[in-house]
Structure 1
């Protein structure tokens, strides 16, 4: 049953006051569940002011006509900059001027109101974040880790960027000592990143650890890598936590996932993809440590075990966050996020579970409790859909209106 204290505003709020914007007569998926009946959702400034079963008045109104309102989608695993074309200052500037604005707009076109960059050049992505916040760039809310931190000659430095040394120095932070990883985390924290991303599988020798052959369609023969040494992994996580930053760790194997969790990680990027998840005690460990699991099926669905592993952890009650691992050169920004949602349902999650993973679950992963829920006091990032996404995840594509920070940024009502 809906939580009345969250769903319905006070009697005073349902009175004659006029709100800045009201979405009228909508079914509501609030980020956790579907509320019973039809509601008006009122916005003042950048926040939701009321979710009311009674009609409300707004200076601006959107008639949902019995459609659906839900929180804007959050994609927690994005690579914004084009890793193929950015290879020197001129090509980076050209990307930022000629390609970046369109890519950011595509997210909004598809209902993604927040993205989390997890491995873009630190200076460039933080400037992009500042431009969006200042209004000089139009795009979704942008959260960023800055460069991904890996071991010396680790992934993606020795894989994606093996022939691009200029980008390698900017997209990745390679470390080979405890002091180096501590210094780099402090540097990123000083620059006000939103989180830290470490890459476990790909580093200098892990004492006694097994070799790992990294495979990807772009590298069919594989690249031999080893896991990030445990002392560096621990030091990076400890330092980030000391600075108040959440840490997610790139893993694909059970052994690496266990090591990351035991070292104190808050979440797993990819999780377990290249092998079946046979160790139930690892799932118990995820639950015990309150881990968030980001499956990235859009990139990892080629691995036959990725879907089954996601179903196992979701059925066990592990927190799931939507993240597509979108990057330039494949698919379409924004559309890839919706494809990720479809693949999660194909893996056996219900549409409601996937919607939660892309809203309240993703906001939890990003430590942004102001996002991902339709409730008074939360950020007014909302989607208006013509049809029910809890019945068919494909209905996310039947998008009428996108509201970001209380402002209508996409309005397709005229064509319906």
Structure 2
């Protein structure tokens, strides 16, 4: 950490050895709730060492001046690689060299310190994760499922990648048998993925399941698909759990959501979006199984029932995680995550509920208890805000500083501060 980071140097104070960094006099949203009063937050070795109402000393100090400190935001549902631009080895290399570093930087610029990729090409995304972890590439902490697993000719293989066979083979994995999906999940686990993502929309036409007309603004006439057969869904989830991996399932319908939960899923990506959630026993099932519901309103708000469905599950006490479904070609990485938070408030969640969904709730979804909370022993991924985000969710845009793993990654404060 350098003087140029905006932190002041404490060179001559006496007393106990100072911490690496101290953020002084801040209100705190700790990932669950706002704490009463002002605090000093101390960081040592990339972790939070103390959250103290009493003054602390740091080798370097940041005066929050009564502003707010909260955990860095976690976006649990992103797609980093450009599904339109990547269509062969040369275009993929060009994207990684010329576009990816800027996109990663945008997340940090907007206060997003952890992202979870849920359907990028396995080899590319795991290599990107390694480069970030090694410090070769700048960006937020990256978690990854590798490719999304769908049925033969399912979504997104025949929808998003219908005219891009090279990307189809890498962004998705199509399965049509129990042994095949089990082997694939174990293969991904062997490669070190952080979680598994299955897509219920899509399977071989002879599966015997009910057809579903997949609709999206890019496909106004719809694409007819068949849901992933329950036997394959269950086998994929069981294989993931055998390897200690959390398995979430892309759903949009009540029936598909029920199938996923009854098959053992840990979470629903999107949840119920294309129809009103009228089955109250489904909400009870979510609560009984400890399901995490990721509403992705940034992409699904066009569906008239998406907000109301989120309102119902949140009011019932279902675990909620923030996930934007950000992908290349629309909006701006990082900014989309903030818009997701604002849409969740528009769906009548409180700002504090949404902040929790983007911090401690998201860390639960990612099985990363070291993230998402301002407390001793947690990773020092922190935001310094100029205004109270629990009063107005829009104040997450009033960002002064981003601290990643104990180091100042972004400093937007005025020099006088």
2:198 equivalent to 1:231: no
Contact preservation (8 Å) 2:28, 2:38: yes
In structure 2, the partner of 1:37 is 37
Q: How does 1:98-247 map to 2 (within 5 A)?
A: 98-205=98-205, 207-247=207-247
Q: Where does residue 296 of structure 1 map in the other structure? A: 296
User: Where do 1:264-283 residues align within 5 Å?
Assistant: 264-283=264-283
Cα contact 1:205–1:227 (8 A) shared by 2: no
Partners of 2:120 and 2:171 within 8 A in 1: yes
Q: Does the 8 Å CA contact 1:206/1:227 hold for their aligned counterparts?
A: no
- Compute the displacement of 1:208 (Å): 4.4
- Structure 1 length-normalised TM: 0.96
- 2:91 is paired with a residue of what secondary structure? helix
Which residue number corresponds to residue 260 of structure 2?
Answer: 260
Contact 1:209 1:226 in 2 (8 A): yes
SS in 1 for 2:16: coil
Where 2:41 maps in the other structure, the secondary structure is strand
SS in structure 2 of the partner of residue 282 of structure 1: helix
> Aligned-pair distance for 1:96?
0.2
**Does residue 93 in structure 1 map to residue 83 in structure 2?**
no
1:348 aligns with 2:348: yes
Counterparts of 1:393 and 1:206 in 2: how far apart (Å)? 47
- Equivalent residue, structure 2, for 1:380: 380
Equivalents in 2 of 1:354, 1:101: separation in Å? 28
Cα offsets for 1:313-348 (capped at 9, x unmatched): 000000000000000000000000000000000001
- SS of match in other structure, 1:113: strand
Q: Do residues 53 (structure 1) and 47 (structure 2) align?
A: no
Measured in 1, the distance between the counterparts of 2:113 and 2:152 equals 35
CA distance in 2, matches of 1:66, 1:203: 54
State the match for 1:370 in structure 2: 370
Alpha-carbon distance in structure 1 between the residues aligned to 2:75 and 2:271:
16
3-state SS, counterpart of residue 313 of structure 1: helix
Question: Residue by residue, what CA displacement relative to the aligned partner does 1:116-170 show, whole Å, maximum 9, x if unpaired?
Answer: 0000000000000000000000000000000000000000000000000000000
- In structure 2, the partner of 1:66 is 66
- Tell me how far 1:202 sits from its aligned partner: 1.2
Q: CA deviation at 1:17?
A: 3.0
Name the residue aligned to 2:19. 19
- Aligned to 2:157, the other structure's residue is in SS state coil
Kept in 2, the 8 Å contact 1:202–1:226? The answer is yes
CA RMSD of aligned residues (A): 0.9
Contact between 1:294 and 1:323, CA under 8 Å: does it hold in 2? Answer: yes
Give me the TM-score of the superposition, normalised by structure 2: 0.96
> Deviation of residue 211 (structure 1)?
1.2
In the alignment, does 2:401 pair up with 1:414? no
Instruction: Provide Cα deviations, 1:18-66, integer angstroms capped at 9, x if missing partner.
Output: 0000000000000000110000000001100000000000001110000
1:175-227, Cα deviation, whole Å (9 max, x unpaired): 00011101110110000000000000111147543210000011111000010
* Structure 1 contact 105–138 (Cα < 8 Å) conserved: yes
Mapped to 2, the partners of 1:148 and 1:209 lie a distance apart of 20
Would the aligned equivalents of 1:206 and 1:230 in 2 still touch at CA under 8 Å? Answer: no
Say which is worse superposed, 205-214 or 269-278, in terms of deviation. 205-214
Q: Is the 8 A contact 1:206 1:229 kept in 2?
A: no
Q: Which stretch has the larger CA shift, 216-225 or 199-208?
A: 199-208
Q: 1:399 to 1:351 in 2, by over 3 A?
A: same
Query: Retained in 2: the 8 A contact 1:204–1:226?
Result: yes
The list of structure 1 runs, each at least 4 consecutive aligned residues, that deviate by more than 3 angstroms after superposition, is 205-208
**Residue segments in structure 2 that go unaligned for 5+ positions in a row:** 1-14
What residue is the counterpart of 1:284 in the other structure?
A: 284
Q: Is the 8 A contact 2:209 2:229 kept in 1?
A: no
SS at match of 1:344: helix
Report the count of equivalent residues. Answer: 402
